[in-house]
A and B are shown apart, each in its own frame.
Chain A
Amino acid sequence: NAGVTQTPKFQVLKTGQSMTLQCAQDMNHNSMYWYRQDPGMGLRLIYYSASEGTTDKGEVPNGYNVSRLNKREFSLRLESAAPSQTSVYFCASRGGRAGTDTQYFGPGTRLTVL
Chain B
Amino acid sequence: AQSVTQLGSHVSVSEGALVLLRCNYSSSVPPYLFWYVQYPNQGLQLLLKYTTGATLVKGINGFEAEFKKSETSFHLTKPSAHMSDAAEYFCAVSSSGGYNKLIFGAGTRLAVHP
Contacts and interface: CB of A to CB of B under 8 A. Distances in A.
Interface string A32-75: 01000000111111001010000010100000000000000000
A45 B102 contact: yes
A33 B34 CA distance: 16
Interface in B46-61: 46, 49, 51-52
Contacts of A43: 44, 90, 102, 104
A103 B100 contact: yes
Chain A contact residues: helix, strand, loop or mixed: strand
A16 interface: no
B42 interface: yes
B106 A31 contact: no
A4 B36 CA distance: 16
Nearest to A102: B46
Interface in B73-114: 90, 96-97, 99-102, 104-107
Contacts, number: 56
B51 A108 contact: no
Interface residues of A, number: 27
B27 interface: no
A26 B42 CA distance: 19
B12 interface: no
A58 B101 contact: yes
Contact of A48 (B42, B43, B101): B101
Interface of A: 4, 31, 33, 40-45, 48, 50, 56, 58, 90, 92, 94, 98-108
16 contacts: A31-B100, A33-B101, A42-B4, A42-B106, A42-B107, A43-B44, A45-B101, A48-B101, A92-B44, A94-B100, A98-B97, A102-B46, A105-B43, A105-B45, A106-B43, A107-B43
